[in-house]
Structure 1
């Protein structure tokens, strides 16, 4: 348990990722440091980080800025998903409005290697337009909220997500509820069992869900990859790619 004093610092971690949980696990318990992890609440049974947790939105930029003031937050680490562009934009503006230092912890994206048959796209609408040229049986791993672009395609989809997907969903589809990490052998079996001939994913990065890319490479299956949204910039915003660098930033800034 942290020992808080009148000179204690408060850190807000915008989490929901493995990196956010690891960061909280390292920092919780340091003397004179209060660590609050905030989760969006979009997953019914999220994996909770160590320490204090709040679940739910802030009410946009203004709501987040007010929360920072009310809780006397000294620094914010945005460790949200690389595609959570809205909360990152809110964090940039709220931290600028309150002069709160902000660090964006964004894990490296994936890089195609020898044997990969990747097709990069800017949006899921672009991915949907490309699919009929690549295959008929699609493994769709873009999350439960982003299926509308594929709803009217005359293709078959295996849709994998943690929670049941939000409609509209593809007309010809099977839903597989599962949470990573996934193994390469398991992904190979999945592709073969469902006769998958094209994979659609987002450039989430990390090792939790990278096994599908190896399995697709081995099976010579094309992969459609949505590029990440650009990270917003703002005064006082810094960026790192590893939890270790984020810990070092917090320790140096807050002297904990």
Structure 2
């Protein structure tokens, strides 16, 4: 009988994993539904939340899920915590697939922070024209700052700081394109999350080239005891071996 895997997705790694597992396993990919036109993986797709730990546990049981891979964004801490608790309750094998974070290189001027509020505080002394790339849901933390904000997101934000210019775009981005954007808007500081995504890393190279400071938000820690891998190949091997899917 074909075994069923739930992939908590929304990332390039999640889409790649679904493609590599199909059709050997039945793959159901779950997307949060925060992007209006998401890139869809192969196989079955569900969109929307589960209703916390209780809702997810019930869904896993009702759909006879044999294993769960969390390949969500590295900052989707609430989803990861819920998945860890729900799978532990049911005894369902659980794995986190999370790409490595970015690494500082010579010439970088990075300022590490632990929260979005710390990022807003750091910006106060670093610049007046801010390229804000932390996602449209975090803009509230910067609302009271008297600065210019260049905000880039896939979908338009619901609310934003007073002096804001919004660019709707989706990566991958190029270094030349990022340099041009930073110069066009006279940006003097960048705020980002340590997503580790190669699709958005060009802004860090551009900042190094221009000598700009970058405020980098650290990733939230994983729940205790959760197994983690960093590549799609490792996740596939685990599913085919350690979870009993072979």
Common topology (TM > 0.5): yes
> Residues 123-169 of structure 1, C-alpha deviation per residue, up to 9 Å, x if partnerless?
111111111211111000000101111001000000000101132x1
**Length-normalised TM-score, structure 2:** 0.98
Matched, 1:13 2:7: yes
> Match of 1:219?
210
Matched, 1:131 2:91: no
Displacement over 4 Å in runs of 4+? none
> Match of 2:148?
156
Q: Secondary structure at the match of 2:137?
A: coil
> Match of 1:100?
92
- Structure 2: unaligned runs, 5 residues or longer: none
> Match of 1:115?
107
Relative to structure 1, the CA distance from residue 101 to residue 90 in structure 2 (aligned partners, 3 Å threshold; closer, same or farther) is same
- Structure 1: unaligned runs, 5 residues or longer: 1-6
> Match of 2:34?
42
Say whether the 8 Å CA contact 2:3–2:245 is kept in structure 1.
no
> Match of 2:162?
171
Q: What is the alpha-carbon distance in structure 2 between the residues aligned to residue 178 and residue 86 of structure 1? A: 26
Q: Secondary structure at the match of 2:136?
A: coil
**Length-normalised TM-score, structure 1:** 0.94
Trace 1:165-244 onto structure 2 (pairs within 5 A).
Answer: 165-167=157-159, 169-234=160-225, 237-244=226-233
Q: What is the alpha-carbon distance in structure 2 between the residues aligned to residue 238 and residue 154 of structure 1? A: 43
Say whether the 8 Å CA contact 1:117–1:222 is kept in structure 2.
yes
Residue 254 of structure 1 deviates from its aligned partner by: 3.2
